[in-house]
Structure 1
Amino acid sequence: MGLYMNADARPVPPAGHVCWRRDDPAAFQAAARAFLSAGLAAGEQVWYVAQRDPAAALVWLAAVPGFTDALRDGAARLVALDATYVDDRVADPAAQVRAYAEATEAALAAGHTGLRVVAEATGLVRTPGQREAFTRYEHLIDRYMRAHPFSAMCVYDPQELAAGAVAELACLHPRSNADDVLFRLYAADQDRAGLAGELDQSTHDLLATALDRADLRPVDGRLVIDATHLRFVDHRSLLRLGEHARGLGAVAVLRTNRAATARLVDLLDLPDLRVEAAR
C-alpha cells in the first residue's frame, strides 16, 4: 500500500489516492512529474492545481515528457486552487466530490481514459474547521476513486500547518510518503473500509478522529473492515473499534488472517467486535 521506487531510488506515487507531505520541494517536484507523466502515458487528462500562481509551476513541469504539447491540446491543464476548490473557506465534501466526478466524466467524453490531479491543498486545511470538513471529503473521494478512473496526489506543506495536521490527512489516504503516520484508514472494495499499518498507544486519538471523519456506514448491522494489511493492533484500539461500531448500532467485523488479532479479540470478549478470516 506504500510508494514504489524509481530507478534512482526516489519514492514515486502510483495511481490512486496519495497524500504527499512536501518536506523537500525537489523530491515533491520529482514525484509530481512522475505521477503526471504516468497519467499522460496512460491517455488520461492531467491537472496541476496550484495554490498560488499556476504558471510558475511550468518552470519544473516542462520536464514532464509531452506536457507542453498536452497543455496546447487540452490533455493537461494548469488550474488555480480557488478555481477548483473554495480556498480559505470550509469545503462541502459532497459538493467537491461531485465537482471531480463531473470533471472525470468530461475528461472521458473528450476521449481521455480518466483524470489525474496533483493538487496543492494546504490552503484548504489551515484551520481545525477546514481540516474536519476536508478530511471528510478525503474519505468520500477515496471511495469515488475505487470505482472511477480518477486519481489524485494531495499535497500538504507541514511548514504552513499546525503540528499534527498532516497526520490527520495522511491517515485517510491509502498511500502516503508520511512514514511517521503509522496507520491508514481508507475505502476498500464493496463499500467496506480498510485498515493498514499499526495501531498502538500512540495512534489512539488519531484513530478516533479518523473513524469519526470517515463516516463509515454499516451494512445489515455489520461494519466490515479489511484488516489484511494491519500488521499490529493493541487492545485499546480494538476497544475503540468496537465502541465506534456500537455507536452506529452495528458490530465491527475485522477481516484478517493474523492469528494474534483473533486471539486478542477472543480474550477481550467484546460483543461489538468479531474477527473473520480474510478471503
Structure 2
Amino acid sequence: MADLARRFADLPDFDNLRDRGAVRFKSLDGLYGTDAVVDTAEQVRTYAAETEEAVAAGFAGFRVAAEVTNLVRTPAQLDAFAGYEHAVDRYMAAYPFEALCAYNVPVLGTAAVDKLASMHPRGNVEGVPFHLHGWGQAGAVALEGELDLRAHDLFPWALDRAAPQWGPGEVVLDARELTFIDHRGLLRLAEQADRRGITIVLRTRRFSAARMVDILGIAGVRVEQVA
C-alpha cells in the first residue's frame, strides 16, 4: 500500500486528504481467495454501508477505484461479477456512490473485458456495441448503443446476468440512446420477459421497434415511443 500511496503523493493537498480520511488505500489481498466468487448482495450491502458512513462523516459521498482482475479470472467469477456490476450500478444510480473498475486486458483477454464493459454505462473500451446498466433511480435500467450483428452473442450473455435482478411486474428499459435494435434483440428481451414472468417496457425514440413487435407478435415486450 505504501508504494501505491507514493504514486499519489504529488496530488494537491493529498496528505491532508489522507490525514482526515477523505482518501484511503485498501488491499484486496487476503480478502478473496484465488477462485473466490463475489457475493452480489453482500458486496452491495458493504458499499451501501460505506456510503452511509461517509455521508454521516460529512463527506458528499463515497468513491472507489479498484483493480479487480483477480476477481474475474474464471468463468464462474466472470459470471458472478457481471451480475454484481449490474446490481451495484443500479445502486449507484440512486445514491452518492461511484466506482471505477480496472481490468488487465492482457491477462483476461479482450473477449472477457468486452463482456464486462457492456455492463458499464461508460469506460475506455472501444468497439463494445451496447451498454446495459443501472440508470436514473433505484431499479431503473438503461440500454444504449446498437443491437446489431456485433451484439448477437454478447447481448444474450449480458441479459442472462442482469435480468435475474429485474422485476416483479414491469421493468422499464430506458432506450432513448439506443440507436438501433433488430428483431433478434427484441426476441432476446421477450425470452427474458417470459423466463422471469415480467413485462419489459422498452422506451425508445425508434418507431421501428414498435412496428417489429407488432408485426412479429412479440409477447412480453411493450414499446413506448418517447421524444
- TM-score when normalising by structure 1: 0.75
Whole-angstrom distance in 2 between the partners of 1:110 and 1:58:
23
Whole-angstrom distance in 1 between the partners of 2:191 and 2:160:
12
Picking from 45, 49, 59, the partner of 1:112 is 59
Distance change in 2, residues 1:60/1:200 (3 Å): same
Asked if 1:86 is matched to 2:32, the reply is yes
For residue 222 of structure 2, what is the aligned residue in structure 1?
274
Q: How does 1:1-279 map to 2 (within 5 A)?
A: 54-82=1-29, 86-88=32-34, 89-188=36-135, 189=137, 191-214=139-162, 215-220=164-169, 222-278=170-226
Whole-angstrom distance in 2 between the partners of 1:159 and 1:252:
37
Q: CA deviation at 1:77?
A: 0.6
Q: CA deviation at 1:260?
A: 2.5
Contact 1:91 1:133 in 2 (8 A): yes
Q: CA deviation at 1:262?
A: 2.3
Give the strand-richer structure, 1 or 2.
Answer: 1
Whole-angstrom distance in 2 between the partners of 1:140 and 1:254:
20
Moved over 6 A (4+): none
Q: CA deviation at 1:57?
A: 2.2
Of structures 1 and 2, the one scoring higher in RCO (CA 8 A, sep 6+) is 1
Whole-angstrom distance in 2 between the partners of 1:219 and 1:205:
26
Q: CA deviation at 1:163?
A: 4.0
Q: CA deviation at 1:266?
A: 2.6
- TM-score when normalising by structure 2: 0.91
Q: CA deviation at 1:219?
A: 3.8
Contact 1:81 1:87 in 2 (8 A): no
Task: Provide the alpha-carbon RMSD of the alignment.
Answer: 1.8
Whole-angstrom distance in 1 between the partners of 2:219 and 2:57:
52
Q: How many aligned residue pairs are there? A: 224
Q: CA deviation at 1:87?
A: 4.8
Contact 1:87 1:123 in 2 (8 A): no
Residue type of the partner of 2:129? L
Query: Which region of structure 1 is more displaced relative to structure 2, 93-102 or 251-260?
Result: 251-260
Q: Identical aligned pairs, as a percentage?
A: 46
Structure 2 unaligned residues grouped into runs of 5+: none
Q: Secondary structure at the match of 2:113?
A: helix
Contact 2:174 2:202 in 1 (8 A): yes
Contact 2:87 2:165 in 1 (8 A): no
Q: CA deviation at 1:190?
A: 5.2
